[in-house]
Structure 1
Amino acid sequence: MEIDGIVSAIVIGVVIGVLGRLVVPGRQRIGVVWTILVGIVAALVGSWVASAFDVADTDGVDWVEWLIQIGLAAVGVAALDRSRSRPGR
């Protein structure tokens, strides 16, 4: 992966992470860095899932791929928030 691919993955990760965080109701107790990391992972896994179901690389905006990525980011944000907010930690 070249530098422009890494930069674009970070930018897309930020967008996906923030959108995923907006989908989850309530206040999340995770930081910006965790949000970005969850977003990057969700973007990569979501692209793979969309390719597996042959809904990636369509004409125009890939809405289904974006929805998969945002959904995965929301699940990741909620799971990370839940793991960090356990009693006794």
Structure 2
Amino acid sequence: MITNNIKLLDVVALTVDLPEENLWRGQVGTVVEILADGTAMEVEFSDKQGRTYESLGLRPEQFMVLRFEPANPNSQPEMVAI
């Protein structure tokens, strides 16, 4: 999986199912904290009214950052082994 410098408030989507948390691939959340020197992130999942229904630490390989603008063709993606 490829990630590019994940930042606070990045909008992300799960790439894996987490049935024990009742979270499923494709659910959208927001990075609210960088943990363990960037090896994990706290991601908050909220409903349409903005109420948080889950917040948990995830590894970068468990989600992808959603992009709302064209990617910079000169950027070098960072490879993350799964």
Instruction: Report the TM-score, using the length of structure 2 for normalisation.
Output: 0.24
User: Greater helix percent: which structure?
Assistant: 1
